[in-house]
Chains A and B, each alone.
Chain A
Amino acid sequence: GENVEQHPSTLSVQEGDSAVIKCTYSDSASNYFPWYKQELGKRPQLIIDIRSNVGEKKDQRIAVTLNKTAKHFSLHITETQPEDSAVYFCAASKVRAGGTSYGKLTFGQGTILTVHP
């Protein structure tokens, strides 16, 4: 089955700095890669996702890049703010050619991001 490795496990940055979290996956058939933010005691919230037909996607201060050959993808947060502090999870899934999803998300272990004011 799919295996997703995520690094680093903890990341501490100063407000305004950039943060980068990296994930690798094992199943070359995976083609959908979402990122979730989870604040303490809260539900995981989808913040950005990318599909394998795209190499990069950006949404304001966050961006995700995908390298299918190397089977890794990364989350980039620029101009970090204290409210970005949370646990971030990457995940991988397979989507059928017809557009419906196998659905099963395999998650990484999570990265605790702390942004110091």
Chain B
Amino acid sequence: EAGVAQSPRYKIIEKRQSVAFWCNPISGHATLYWYQQILGQGPKLLIQFQNNGVVDDSQLPKDRFSAERLKGVDSTLKIQPAKLEDSAVYLCASSFDRGRYEQYFGPGTRLTVT
């Protein structure tokens, strides 16, 4: 089975610029998550989708971050405008749900804001 796909793998931008990340979950996985992992820390959930609906976005900085999953499959996370503290790895994960709890992570996008 193909894993979670993410692109780009690396991105360097200047502060106040915008950036977008893309994620394609494992086929058939209804739930999709975006996590932020700052260097030396564990991943922190930004937003969770169930199909194309938002389940939890309580930790998403909504003044600058947005995410969508229009057709219930792939998803896009956007930052506009970026700040220096947004430098991190952005991980996408997916899970089958319906009694299966395992979350599978993509390779991540490493964002550097200068």
Chain A residues proximal to chain B, CB less than 8 Å: 4, 6, 32, 34, 36, 42-46, 49, 51, 89, 91, 93, 95, 99-110
Contacts and interface: CB of A to CB of B under 8 A. Distances in A.
Nearest to A110: B42
A27 to B, nearest CB: 14
Contact of B102 (A4, A43, A49): A49
Contact of A42 (B4, B101, B104, B107): B107
B14 interface: no
A95 B102 CA distance: 11
B40 A105 contact: no
Interface residues of B, number: 26
A74 B109 CA distance: 30
A89 B101 CA distance: 17
Per DSSP, chain A at the interface is strand
A43 B9 CA distance: 11
A86 to B, nearest CB: 14
Given A103-B48, A109-B42, 11 more contacts: A34-B103, A36-B105, A43-B4, A46-B103, A89-B42, A99-B99, A101-B31, A102-B55, A103-B56, A105-B45, A107-B43
A115 B105 CA distance: 25
Given A103-B33, A103-B56, A104-B56, A44 B43 contact: yes
Contacts of B50: 103
Contacts of A109: 41-42
B99 A100 contact: yes
B41 A110 contact: yes
Nearest to B48: A103
Interface in B45-60: 45, 48, 50, 55-56
A43 B56 contact: no
B95 A101 contact: yes
